[in-house]
Amino acid sequence: MTLVERFLNYVKFGTQSDELTGTTPSTPGQMVFAKALEQELRDMGLSEISLDELGYLYATLPANTDEPVPTIGFIAHMDTAPDMSGDGVNPLIVQYEGGTITLNEEQGIVLDPAEFPEMNDYVGQQLIVTDGTTLLGADDKAGIAEILAAVQWLQEHPEVKHGKIRVGFNPDEEIGMGAHHFDVEKFGADWAYTMDGGAVGELEYENFNAAGAKVTFKGRNVHPGTAKDKMVNSQRVAMRFLAMMPQDEVPERTEGYEGFFHLTGIKGNVEETTLSFIIRDHDGERFATRKEQMQQWCDAINEQFPGCATVEIKEQYRNMREKIEPVMHVIDVAKKAMERAGVVVKVQPIRGGTDGAQLSFKGLPCPNIFAGGMNMHGRYEYVPIPSMEKAMRTIIEICRLVAE
């Protein structure tokens, strides 16, 4: 199978994850896909193939040299985002010569460079797009396809020497659970790379520190006709809380290393209202301050409405930079491999999280490399085929460099 054939096959599997199920994997479609990948690995003749009951799949391409070479790994996740349906994906290949791309004429869904100016970087290239009714799934099935296409290439070119190569595919990255049950000891790599970045050239070893926060407001409901000086409308109190927060420290007004508070959900009535947030910052001290601010705003509310507001904060993941900086050779290898693959390297912080962050804190240094997808998690997602090819070539060059 070619790289593109693999990808087009993989996106047909419905693997949308769901944080509400409480199971691992969180949805049955992920295990269906894992079993199909397991069979593909067997058909390829890989060794040490293992699929556990939680949907974690590992395999080995044995070394083809007797020289001592570090064992390296490549990792990608099988699930797609809960943000939009990943069932019935109908990918289309278009030759892009500029201008708009009509994804769905009937529904008037158009991919427009006026809204997505990055499209102009890919004029003259073939793009794989959606039909506008689902996401595509390049995040991260492009990564899986690139890893296995690179493994196949190495099998077909034994003259290229490499050490032991481990591959790992996991469920539930999109709901923050991808690395929770990843068996680092069993994986047995000296270091690894997640193939889960975006545009061609991205190399990332810094990510947000992350927490989730749930703020609950207790109200008092009485008949509105006799409510004066008695009613406490928890919804209106919640709005006071929101008004206290910095209005510019939100995702839609920040970039680069700027952190934010992101309101992800509101649920309420007069008696009780809950606000759900995610808190993000690259800097550890600023991150700690953000968490303290949530409590301070609750305290201010409670001064006006005693006992009304409570906040629950849960840590999610930490910035992997502190784990990667002591082993910067893993970044140097990736940079050189990209350059050999004809890629302009763009080292940048991840404005989000990655399985590699959690894996790095579990003892497996694991920076993130581009997989090529753009506009991920929605109907406007696309992936340029040359970007996927360069990601595949980067994997091959990493394996070659480590053996050298």
The yes-or-no verdict on residue 121 having pLDDT over 90 is: yes
Q: Are 329 and 193 in contact (CB under 8 A)?
A: no
Q: Are 196 and 391 in contact (CB under 8 A)?
A: no
Q: Which of 173, 174, 206, 281 is catalytic?
A: 173
Q: What is the pLDDT of residues 186-241, one digit of tens each?
A: 999 999 999 999 999 999 999 999 999 999 999 999 999 999 999 999 999 999 99
Residue 41: predicted pLDDT: 98
Q: Are 170 and 332 in contact (CB under 8 A)?
A: no
Residue 20: predicted pLDDT: 87
Q: What is the pLDDT of residues 288-319, one digit of tens each?
A: 999 999 999 999 999 999 999 999 999 888 99
Compute the distance between CA of residue 265 and CA of residue 189 in angstroms, rounded to an integer: 39
CATH number of 209-317: 3.30.70.360
Q: Phi/psi of residue 53, each to 5°?
A: -70, -10
Q: How many CA atoms lie within 13 A of 47 on its CB side?
A: 6
Q: Which residue has the tokens 């509310």?
A: 301
Percentage of the chain lying above the pLDDT 70 cut: 100
Residue 360: predicted pLDDT: 96
Q: Which of 79, 139, 146, 206 is catalytic?
A: 79
Q: What is the pLDDT of residues 339-364, one digit of tens each?
A: 999 999 999 998 887 899 999 999 99
| Helix (H) or strand (E) segment spanning residue 235 | helix 234-244
Q: What is the pLDDT of residues 36-75, one digit of tens each?
A: 999 999 999 999 999 999 999 999 999 999 999 999 999 9
Q: Characterize 375-401 residue by residue with b for buried, 16 or more Cβ atoms within 10 angstroms of its Cβ, and e for exposed.
A: bbbebbbbbbbbbbbbbbbbbbbbbbb
CATH topology identical between 3-206+319-403 and 209-317: no
SS3 annotation, 68-95: CCCCEEEEEECCECCCCCCCCCCCEEEE
The pTM is what?
0.88
Q: Is 173 a catalytic residue?
A: yes
Compute the distance between CA of residue 257 and CA of residue 77 in angstroms, rounded to an integer: 25
| Integer Rg of the chain from CA | 23
Compute the distance between CA of residue 269 and CA of residue 34 in angstroms, rounded to an integer: 42
Compute the distance between CA of residue 116 and CA of residue 135 in angstroms, rounded to an integer: 16
Reading the block at residue 83, the tokens are 């943000």
Compute the distance between CA of residue 318 and CA of residue 205 in angstroms, rounded to an integer: 12
Compute the distance between CA of residue 33 and CA of residue 171 in angstroms, rounded to an integer: 10
Q: How many CA atoms lie within 13 A of 197 on its CB side?
A: 29
Question: In this structure, which long-range contacts are made by residues 338-343, counting pairs with CB atoms below 8 Å and at least 24 apart in sequence?
Answer: 338/201, 338/203, 338/369, 338/390, 338/394, 338/397, 340/393, 340/397, 340/401, 341/390, 341/393, 341/394, 341/396, 341/397, 342/390, 342/393, 343/200, 343/201, 343/390, 343/394
Q: Are 71 and 163 in contact (CB under 8 A)?
A: yes
Q: Are 104 and 92 in contact (CB under 8 A)?
A: no
Q: What is the pLDDT of residues 265-274, one digit of tens each?
A: 999 999 999 9
Residue 187: predicted pLDDT: 98
Reading the block at residue 206, the tokens are 């810094």
Q: Phi/psi of residue 114, each to 5°?
A: -65, -30
> 182 by DSSP, 3-state: which?
coil
Compute the distance between CA of residue 215 and CA of residue 58 in angstroms, rounded to an integer: 40
Q: Is 156 a catalytic residue?
A: no
Question: Which sequence spans correspond to the domains of the chain?
Answer: 3-206+319-403, 209-317
Task: Provide the sign of the torsion angle of the four alpha carbons 101, 102, 104, 110, taken in this order.
Answer: positive
Q: In this structure, which CATH number among 3.40.50.1260, 3.40.50.720, 3.40.630.10, 3.40.50.80 belongs to the domain 3-206+319-403?
A: 3.40.630.10
Q: How many CB atoms lie within 10 A of CB 304?
A: 11
